[in-house]
Amino acid sequence: MKMIQARNLYKSFGTHRVLDNVNFEVNIGEVVVIIGPSGSGKSTLLRCFNGLEEIDSGVITIEGESFAHKDPGKKDKVTSKEKKEIAVKLGMVFQHFNLFPHKTVLENVIEAPITVSKINKSEAVSMAEALLDKVGLSDKKNSFPSKISGGQKQRVAIARALGMNPDIMLFDEPTSSLDPELVGEVQKVIIDLAREKMTMLIVTHEMRFAEEVADRIIFMDEGKIIADEKPDRIFNNPEHPRIKTFIDKITMRQSNRQE
């Protein structure tokens, strides 16, 4: 089954075109990683799938249901009520975590299940405890976000998104604002999710991680999808010279950093 389908997506910020006829799809259980230079439209694309950004035109389908259907200059054919019902199926993890600072780790995870999904508190707590256990943070459940490390924050954010029981997880540069030694613990949680066949769409600059976790890699540049291939093809034998330059540059930087 197609979990996400994007057809002819266009979007501009002012005169700057950030999505330029984007077409791709994500199958069930598939992990798709989006890479590309800064400003190439990767994050914007991701944010269009849960309504944090609106496309100018095109069609987005989530699990076979229309999530956005816009002709140029026209109103969206999908109502905001319909969008909300579909958006429940997607969880999102942000570069800057965006945890709720006034709530403990546990409260962060149970907040939406209780207020949005209306499940009772004891049920929410036991589910949240299981999720925190899964991301290795059971012992931090009563800490406030200000008292834990960046890597721990991001793992809480993943648990919080999973708390809404999504079918698809979106990751927007989940390790970009972490200290290098904390990147691994977050990547491990994402790799575990991939093993459980969670459908995921991930924007990242970590090439080794991309190669390890991805079933397919999408390379974006200037709002266009330049390549949509298996990882080994992208990393070892890219068709487009632009991809090779980008990967060489970024892997050189990342191996320098590790030395």
Applying CB under 8 A, the residues found at the interface with another protein are 50-52, 84, 87-88, 90-92, 94, 96-103, 111-112, 115-116, 144-146, 157, 160-161, 164
Provide, rounded to whole angstroms, the least separation between the CB of residue 157 and another protein. Answer: 8
Residue 258 contacts residue 57 (beta carbons within 8 Å): no
d(CA 231, CA 193): 18
d(CA 3, CA 29): 9
Provide, rounded to whole angstroms, the least separation between the CB of residue 146 and another protein. Answer: 6
Provide, rounded to whole angstroms, the least separation between the CB of residue 23 and another protein. Answer: 24
Provide, rounded to whole angstroms, the least separation between the CB of residue 144 and another protein. Answer: 4
d(CA 154, CA 90): 17
d(CA 51, CA 126): 30
Strand duo 199-203 + 168-172: pairing? parallel
- Please identify, using beta-carbon distances, which residue of 74 and 81 lies nearer to another protein: 81
- Please identify, using beta-carbon distances, which residue of 35 and 92 lies nearer to another protein: 92
User: Quick one: tokens of 133?
Assistant: 């256990």
d(CA 228, CA 220): 9
- Please identify, using beta-carbon distances, which residue of 149 and 254 lies nearer to another protein: 149
- Please identify, using beta-carbon distances, which residue of 156 and 234 lies nearer to another protein: 156
Provide, rounded to whole angstroms, the least separation between the CB of residue 230 and another protein. Answer: 30
Instruction: Of 127, 123, 125, give the one whose Cα is nearest residue 104.
Output: 125
Residue 204 contacts residue 213 (beta carbons within 8 Å): no
User: Quick one: tokens of 156?
Assistant: 């809480």
- Please identify, using beta-carbon distances, which residue of 47 and 70 lies nearer to another protein: 47
Provide, rounded to whole angstroms, the least separation between the CB of residue 121 and another protein. Answer: 14
Residue 181 DSSP class: H
User: Quick one: tokens of 113?
Assistant: 């299940």
- Please identify, using beta-carbon distances, which residue of 63 and 111 lies nearer to another protein: 111
Provide, rounded to whole angstroms, the least separation between the CB of residue 145 and another protein. Answer: 8
Q: Element (H or E) spanning 24, and its range?
A: strand 16-27
- Please identify, using beta-carbon distances, which residue of 97 and 219 lies nearer to another protein: 97
Largest CA distance in the chain: 55
